[in-house]
Every structure is written in C-alpha cells, then in structure tokens.
Amino acid sequence: MMKDKEKDVISQMVEGIIGTEPDKNAAPEEKEKYKQAKANLSGRALEYFMFMDDEEGTSTPNDEPTASNIIIFPDFQKLKDNVERMRTELSMLLLERDELQFVICKNIETAYYLKLGALEHKVYEAQCAALRLKRKIELIQARINRQEKVIISQIESILDNEFEEYQAKLNEQIDKMNEALKRSTAECLTDQENAELKKLYRKVVKKLHPDVNPNVSDAEIRLLDNAMNAYKNGDLAALRIIEEMVSDHTLPEHTQDAMSMLTEENERLEKMLSSIRDNISEIKSRYPYSVKNIVEDPEKEAERKAELESILAQYKEMIEIYKSRLSEMLR
C-alpha cells in the first residue's frame, strides 16, 4: 500500500511540473488537458514507488522519497518500443537474407543450369582440355631442350597433379547439374504453404536467432539450425513443430538497469541491421543472383547461349592446333 506521505510527494511533484489545477471557470478542454497530464505523471510516479516497495527492507531512513529524488524515465517506453521494432525488422531482414540464399538463389541457379548448364560444362571441359594440351607441349619441349628421354606416362602423371583442381571443378559442375535436375522434379509447396513456411520461419528467427536475441541457449541455437534446414527443404510439418516449441522472449521491466540494458540493445540492433543489409547487398551482387536477368529474359538467355557456343568453338579450334603440334613433336 502507498503511504500518505508518498501520496503527498506525488501531488507535490505533479503540481511542480504542470502547475495547479485550473479554476472552475476554465475552458473544458483546458481542464481535460490538465487531468490527462496529471494522470500520466501520477502513473509514472506510482511505478517508481511500486519499484521502491519491492526493495522495502533494504532502504535506510535517508531513503525516504521526496519530490527532488524521484526518478522518472519518460523515454523508457519509446526506447522499449524502438527495440521491439528493430527486433522485428531484423527478423524480417534475416528472413529476406535466408530466402535469398536458400530459395531465390537456389531457384535461379537451378533454372540457369537447366537452361545453360550443359553448355557451360562443355565450355569449361574444352578449356581444361586446351590448357592441358598446352602444358603437355611445354613439358615435352623442356625435355627435348635438355636432351632427355620423353616418357609420356610420367608427363601425364605430372599433368594429373597439376590439373587436379580443374578436374575437381568439373566434378562440382556435374554435381550441381544433378542437384538442379533433382530440384526441378521435387514436389513444390502451394503458394499458401509457402506463405505459411515464411511466416513460421520468421517467428522462429525472431525468437531464437542470436542476432536478434543474443542470450539464447545452445539448445535453442540447435533448434534454430533444425528450423533452418526445414526451411531450406520446404519441410512445413517440421517447421510447425519447432514454432510450437519456442517460447516468447520478453523485454526487461521499467528500472534504471533496464533502461541501460535497452540502450545497449538498441545500439547492438542498429549495428546488426546495418550488417545484414550489407550482407543482402553482397548476395545480390554475386552469382547466382547475378544471372537472374538471364534466366528471366529469353532474349538475354539466347545472347548468353550464343556467347558460350562461340567460346566453345574457339577452344575446340585451339585443341586441334595443340594436337597437331604434339603429333609433330613426337614423330
């Protein structure tokens, strides 16, 4: 219960800020304005005394509240609302980034490989063959210059080692082609299911992502990983279960320490928002997002196809030249 002395302090504090109550002849709107201001200030002061009551027993006689030592945080709710707004914005940006990486870019890459992947593989394969023949000529010529015996098996072994990275990239292209074919035949979610998938994932991100809530536990981070995999694979059932499991993360109550915590959280979130925006811009600047205009525009697709066919023809011509040169060297 609030003491009479505390009520007097509140009354003194309110009158000290907004003045005395208007007389009976004052305009109705002026009386209403005074009444509303008094209610707001009295409510904030009451919050302070409730907080003081929680610490009753630890105070000393010198801790008696007076109009001069009452602390009110008029910007607390504004800051709290701003932190919540930024958490929501951050969760939406994280969803946008993950959708770019796991859905949009994957769809772009799948479409690109299905339309031009086979031709790109042929171009890279011909490039590797031309470079290998050129290097083979160099190794043979070096031995001839040193008047050494040319042992083709040894040279091929050297070439295998030197071109191991090229072969790995060729294998990677084949794997991506197979993945694109598999993805193109996978069962797709309906528009309604896709909307639910995004909505559930954003809820989970807002509650469990360490960028949004830095105090999440290791178990919650593992749960977020499972949610991320479910989102990648379009596993709506799994994401529904995970969303049911997570609990709300509440913001701190109105205290001096809470004000400091919210200020720090506000600064942290501002940095995170800037970082995620930069991350999204970086994703959009590189492959596969960079070929988005090609897969969406038949004219640009035809231009790219013609360009690849021209490059392939050049490499094939180089291969024939190198083969002819090798035949002459090994006569």
21, 25, 69, 111 from 31: Cα distances, Å: 8, 10, 28, 69
Q: Which residue has the tokens 């209403």?
A: 32
Cβ neighbours around 262 below 10 Å, total:
21
Q: Quick count: other Cβ atoms within 10 Å of Cβ 249? A: 14
pLDDT tops 50 at residue 59 = no
What confidence score (pLDDT) does residue 287 get? 92
pLDDT at 162: 93
Q: Which of 46-55, 82-91, 195-204, 277-286 has the lowest mean pLDDT?
A: 46-55
Q: Is residue 296 predicted with pLDDT exceeding 80?
A: yes
Query: Looking up tokens 């913001």, which residue turns up?
Result: 251
| Strand, helix or coil for residue 280 | helix
Q: What mean pLDDT do residues 245-257 have?
A: 58
Query: Amino acid identity of 157?
Result: S
Give the pLDDT confidence score for residue 252 in this predicted structure.
52
Q: How far apart are CA 176 and CA 294, in angstroms?
A: 18
Q: Are 172 and 137 in contact (CB under 8 A)?
A: no
Q: Domain residues of the chain, as ranges?
A: 4-63, 76-329
Phi, then psi, of 122 in degrees rounded to 5: -65, -40
Q: Which residue has the higher pLDDT, 9 or 307?
A: 307
Least confident of 66-75, 164-173, 225-234: 66-75
pLDDT at 191 over 50: yes
- Percentage of the chain beyond pLDDT 70 is 75
> Cα separation of 273 and 246, whole Å?
23
How many angstroms separate the CA atoms of 308 and 63, rounded?
A: 82
For residue 66, which phi and psi values (nearest 5 degrees)?
A: -135, 170
pLDDT band at 53 (very low <50, low <70, confident <90, very high): very low
Give, for 129, the enclosing helix (H) or strand (E).
helix 118-145
Higher per-residue confidence, 258 vs 99: 99
How buried is 13 (Cβ within 10 angstroms: 0-12 exposed, 13-18 middle, 19+ buried)? buried
Tens digits of residue pLDDT in 106-124: 899 999 999 999 999 999 9
Task: For residue range 196-215, list pLDDT tens digits in order.
Answer: 989 889 888 988 899 888 88
35-56: average pLDDT: 50
More confident residue, 235 or 278: 278
Mark 181-217 as b/e (b = at least 16 C-beta within 10 Å).
Answer: eebeeeeeeeeeeeebbbebbbbbbbbbbebbbeebe
CA-based nearest residue to 133, from 313, 309, 327 = 327
Q: How many CA atoms lie within 13 A of 217 on its CB side?
A: 6
